[in-house]
Amino acid sequence: MSLSNKEVGSLIVDFLSTVIKNKEISEDSADSLNVAIDCITESFEFERDTVAQTLQDKFSGKTLKEILSSASATSTGSEKEESVKVNIPVEDAEIKATAESFKLEGNKAMAAKDYRLAIEKYSEAIKTLPTNVIYYANRAAAYSSVKEYDNAIKDAEKAIEIDPAYSKGYSRLAFAKYALNKPEEALEYYKKVLDMEGDKATPAMKRDFEMAKNRVESSMNLEKSSTTTPEPSRSAGQQPANPFAGSGMPDMSSLFGNGGGMGGLSSFLNNPQVMQAAQQMMSDPNSMQKMQEMMQNPNLREMAQNLASGDANLDDLMNNPSVKDMANNLFGPNGAPK
């Protein structure tokens, strides 16, 4: 029976947990074993709460001791195992051992919530062996713990660059994206983790995905709600909307500043006859051209500014010969657009 690293790791974690639970070692040693358990579960990417189920599914509920005892009892001793020599250069082995020692110190610092020290130790591990994706993923977790999410993203992306099949790189990246209020991107990477793990996805992985999914759905519902919220009714003191706005007509109200001092002009602009004339004018290109020219007339602008400042009233404006000439030129003597 071929076993995965997670399954073997589950046997070891169960054994260590039993030793701690039965108080077979000192309290200080128990702390060390807890760190070892954290290292194993993190390295092989599984959760403590999945160990019992793994033992039940793969080993019929048997513990590591029971499996080893059974294997020892059935061995006849007649079979000799062939010794396999593994040629690992001494220099490489020493480098890896040094890097691993830094990583373990970083893991201990993480367990003690000394995240700055953990970052320092993981950095030493990376400096010693810069091709190990676990070191980058671990440092990404440490950076996230001190809310340096941009650095966490860089480390997670580096881990993915080295090994695109390393799911924990995507998990670390998703966490940092979520913390930076980018739930859509986080959801994408959490989904990537689930797709990569398949049936081996842990409850924690599924929980992270659902968390990001709910956040995205809530944001979408909030945006939808804000776009369908009815416009508040105007108070008595507020100006009505310009009837020419958005119609293709020049914005006459811009002549009067921000609406202050418009007085009777609001009624004029909202007069049904004026609005009808405006609609007719929009269908006549010549009238629209004349309207544009009129809006550029400096005399009209000066009179409009006087009206806005209170130096003149609407009647004065409408009785001004220049305005009458422009109106006749635009609408004709009977008020219809020429």
Q: Is 145 a residue whose pLDDT tops 70?
A: yes
pLDDT tens for 252-261 read 444 444 444 4
- Residues 178 and 287 placed together within one structural domain of the fold: no
Give the CATH number of the domain where residue 106 resides.
1.25.40.10
Q: Which DSSP category does 241 fall into?
A: P
Other beta carbons within 10 angstroms of residue 73's beta carbon come to: 7
- Between 169 and 234, the higher pLDDT residue: 169
Q: Is 177 a residue whose pLDDT tops 90?
A: yes
82 inside domain: no
- 286: which residues sit within 8 A by CB, 6+ positions away? 338
Instruction: Answer for the pair 156, 164: CB distance below 8 angstroms, yes or no.
Output: no
How far apart are alpha carbons 262 and 317 in whole angstroms? 12
Rounded to an integer, the average pLDDT of 289-318 is 63
| pLDDT at residue number 80 | 45
Beta strand residue intervals within 2-94, DSSP E: none
- Residues 57 and 142 placed together within one structural domain of the fold: no
Q: Could you give the number of structural domains in the chain?
A: 3
- Residues 112 and 208 placed together within one structural domain of the fold: yes
Q: Is 189 a residue whose pLDDT tops 70?
A: yes
| pLDDT at residue number 262 | 47
| pLDDT at residue number 301 | 66
73 inside domain: no
219 inside domain: yes
Q: What backbone torsions phi and psi does residue 105 show, to the nearest 5 degrees?
A: -65, -40
Q: Which domain holds residue 280?
A: 252-331
- Mean pLDDT, the chain, rounded, equals 76
Other beta carbons within 10 angstroms of residue 46's beta carbon come to: 23
Q: How far does Cα 7 stand from its chain's mean position?
A: 34
Confidence bin at 78 (pLDDT 50/70/90):
very low
- Between 10 and 336, the higher pLDDT residue: 10
- Residues 265 and 172 placed together within one structural domain of the fold: no
- Between 313 and 182, the higher pLDDT residue: 182
How far apart are alpha carbons 303 and 306 in whole angstroms? 5
In the chain, the percentage of residues whose pLDDT exceeds 90 is 35
- Between 207 and 285, the higher pLDDT residue: 207
Q: Tell me, what amino acid is at 73?
A: A
How far apart are alpha carbons 56 and 282 in whole angstroms? 80
- Residues 220 and 115 placed together within one structural domain of the fold: yes
Copy the structure tokens of residue 32. 């060390």
For the four alpha carbons of 43, 45, 49 and 54, in that order, the dihedral sign comes to: negative
Q: Is 63 a residue whose pLDDT tops 80?
A: yes
How far apart are alpha carbons 104 and 195 in whole angstroms? 30
How far apart are alpha carbons 261 and 140 in whole angstroms? 61
49 inside domain: yes
How far apart are alpha carbons 332 and 58 in whole angstroms? 95
291 inside domain: yes
- Residues 210 and 314 placed together within one structural domain of the fold: no
| pLDDT at residue number 88 | 46
Confidence bin at 107 (pLDDT 50/70/90):
very high
Q: Is 267 a residue whose pLDDT tops 60?
A: no
- Residues 221 and 263 placed together within one structural domain of the fold: no
Q: Is 83 a residue whose pLDDT tops 90?
A: no
| pLDDT at residue number 227 | 60
Q: Which of 153, 150, 149, 148 is nearest to 136 (CA)?
A: 153
Length of the chain: 338
Q: Which of 140, 138, 158, 157 is nearest to 149 (CA)?
A: 140
For the four alpha carbons of 62, 68, 69 and 73, in that order, the dihedral sign comes to: positive
Confidence bin at 101 (pLDDT 50/70/90):
very high
How far apart are alpha carbons 113 and 107 in whole angstroms? 10
- Residues 216 and 99 placed together within one structural domain of the fold: yes
Confidence bin at 75 (pLDDT 50/70/90):
low
Distances (CA, A) of 315 to 48, 176, 265, 272: 85, 66, 10, 19
| pLDDT at residue number 137 | 96
- Residues 107 and 161 placed together within one structural domain of the fold: yes
Q: Which DSSP category does 258 fall into?
A: T
Instruction: Answer for the pair 133, 159: CB distance below 8 angstroms, yes or no.
Output: yes
Rounded to an integer, the average pLDDT of 113-125 is 96
Q: What backbone torsions phi and psi does residue 202 show, to the nearest 5 degrees?
A: -85, 160
pLDDT tens for 196-251 read 999 988 898 999 999 999 988 887 877 666 665 555 544 444 444 444 444 444 44
- Residues 109 and 57 placed together within one structural domain of the fold: no
